[in-house]
Chains A and B, each alone.
Chain A
Amino acid sequence: MTEIFGVPTQALFGQLLIGLINGSFYALLSLGLAVIFGLLNIINFTHGAQYMLGAFCAYLLLNKLGVGYWWSLAAAPLIVGALGMLIERLMLKHLYKLDHLYGLLLTFGLALIIQGVFRNEYGSSGQPYPIPQELSGGHNLGFMFLPNYRAWVIAVSLVVCLATWFVIERTKLGSYLRAATENPALVQAFGINVPRMITLTYGFGVALAAFGGVMAAPIYQVSPQMGADLIIVVFAVVVIGGMGSIMGSILTGFGLGVIEGLTKVFYPEASNTVIFIIMAIVLLIKPAGLFGTQK
């Protein structure tokens, strides 16, 4: 069998695929962050908690109301997105004109509160969430056993990411959004309700996080910590990709997933630091991120 640095190529394919799967979550979450930052100028530190809320929403729907995975996939993002819009209306909207730091502090504080409440109620070990029947089992690809659910994760997040990019960069609605962030007064003068559009955008970003949470529920434990562990990495992804760049965050999300996956093979001890090393290097060479533009 051929080998690369002592690792059989067969095994390497498996690791690349797993990297892509983890990258899908990075992409989904960093995409939401990028949308919110790009259009609202808010660094949404509640994103991890909202991802966790999505998973818990699915868990509660299943265990309290008997609502299964497929309905949750639609319902949880709607519910959590609506909660997000409430936060935007009640709190965030007062901060747009202030420094980024205020939004960051507010959202960070909210995240701590939400996580604390859930930890108090459900503990830190988390709750199990079953893989839906239709997607259980898996296929032997020769070089690895690919669980059906993981294949589904890659496919769905790719579709969602590309659709979001398309809407924002290539449609009329997207052009309104982008225009509103450049010059809200002018866009308002054309008769477009800018505050409502911003609320909806925040709701959409949050819904993306919740959607990621539902996708993650069957793979990881549904636990109050799940978002806090992920959000730091995702922020690094956004910084590397370039704050606010939609395509940048998608590509970096998948790319870094793969790099992290390879690190787990060649030097596993560094697998939870490699992303930050890359972030440091990128910031030194290109402070605006790989796909970002200096404002």
Chain B
Amino acid sequence: MKVTKLAAAVTLAAAAMSAQAQVSDGIIKIGILTDMSSLYADLSGAGSVAAARMAVEDFGAAKKGMKVEIISADHQNKPDVGSAIARQWYDVDKVDVIVDTPNSGVALAVNQITRDKKKAFINSGAASSDLTGKACSPNTVHWTYDTWMLANGTGSAIVKTGGDSWYFITADYAFGHALERDTMEVVKKNGGKVLGAVRAPINTQDFSSFLLQAQGSKAKIIGLANAGGDTINSIKQASEFGIVKGGQSLAGLLVFLSDVHGLGLQTAQGLIFTETFYWDLNDNTRAFAKRMAAANNGKYPTMVQAGVYAGVLHYLKAIEAAKTDDGTKVVEQMKKMPTDDPLFGKGRIRADGRKLHPAYLVEVKKPSESKGPYDYYKIRATIPADQAFRPEKDGGCELVK
């Protein structure tokens, strides 16, 4: 008993000391917790690690005398595995910030752990708008996109062009549920009807059963509230079962560049969805894409990987300005400073942790319109930053006064 008390005291003292020091243990340690091997690995994974490395390089950490180390791990899309890694990173490996973390289930768990340990969490890969809503935290920044933004961009565009009855095929976990909920709201608000929904387990190979149920509903729009490999398989099999030929349309609510690449334009053409980053927007994004392709096996960056780059860059700037790597203080500083990076341009982070930037409604090109690999999107509309995301007051975040 005595020993434990002593240990606790020593730990407390050590913690107090490190809080005073400029950067605890002299190293800023960034942990990329992501999907390295499964259905989200192409949209985040090794590409996210490469993007973080580039951010450290571009920030000029070495020249400024800051020691930055990047480590990474595979959370296997399991919240328990992700939580165990996050705890070990924070407690044993002295990781200061966890970055990326696709899969909302894992992200919500890491969000809570980061808050308890007073570290920092910069999420780029997960979608659930709850991260800046009822689960918001003073230690989390949600960078790239969220379910509300996807619903608002894609959902309202489709309802307005006549797609007013919907049936959902939903990934059966936190992400799918949030995306389904947010899209249903948008559909109803714009005068559309929701005819039903079916919950498919994550990482399903065969969607034909679910597609058949969607077909039977006679809804005009089949909303795919899933992501990565699940989206690819549902779109591919929908074309096999003649769903689009039968007069129904597919709405991919979350589609990434890597998904379109995996599907091929022949199958993906005409899909409409919302992204916050496309490599072919301007000279800066094109230059970034070239570097990413060179560093990541020829693959062009997705918006998630772009968000990792921009998030890490802003995090390092905040450490430089605040002169500390204390998680809570750095996130506070990140919110205080306006953001400015070559990929998302100028923006800011709200009190609830939401990063604001424009969103783009894109349409996938026909094979004849594309000049080559990765020339995939036509930008149909730009949604300005102040309209792209859920208004701060509607999220139910306790940090917003």
Contacts and interface: CB of A to CB of B under 8 A. Distances in A.
A221 B209 contact: no
B240 A131 contact: yes
Contact of A126 (B199, B209, B229): B229
Given A128-B262, A128-B264, A221-B232, A145 B209 contact: no
B328 to A, nearest CB: 35
A21 interface: yes
Contacts of B237: 219
Contact of A221 (B172, B198, B240, B262): B262
A18 B258 contact: no
Interface residues of B, number: 44
A123 B229 contact: no
Contact of A223 (B43, B45, B215, B229): B229
A190 B203 CA distance: 51
Interface in A102-134: 119-121, 123-128, 130-131
B396 interface: no
B42 A125 contact: yes
Interface stretch (B33-41, B351-359, B362-370): B33-41
B201 A124 contact: no
A195 interface: no
A221 B204 contact: no
A124 B38 contact: yes
A144 interface: yes
Interface in B98-114: none
Interface string B19-39: 000000000000000000111
A123 B45 CA distance: 10
A142 B208 CA distance: 17
Contact of B262 (A21, A127, A269): A127
Given A22-B206, A145-B246, A220-B233, A126 B41 contact: no
B299 to A, nearest CB: 7
Given A11-B216, A145-B241, A221-B236, A272 B201 contact: yes
A188 B291 CA distance: 62
Interface in A228-276: 229-230, 261, 264-265, 268-269, 271-273
Contacts of B41: 119, 123-124
Given A131-B240, A219-B237, A268-B210, A124 B199 contact: no
Contacts of B297: 120-121, 123
B232 A125 contact: yes
A68 interface: no
B209 A15 contact: yes
Contacts of B267: 128
A226 interface: yes
A138 B262 contact: no
B218 to A, nearest CB: 12
A264 B209 contact: yes
A46 interface: no
A219 B240 contact: yes
Interface string A1-32: 00000001001001100110110000000000
Nearest to A120: B297
Given A119-B41, A124-B37, A268-B200, 9 more contacts: A123-B299, A125-B42, A128-B266, A131-B240, A149-B240, A150-B208, A220-B206, A220-B236, A271-B200
> Closest 10 interchain pairs by CB?
A125-B262, A264-B209, A124-B41, A272-B201, A128-B264, A125-B42, A123-B42, A124-B42, A18-B208, A147-B240
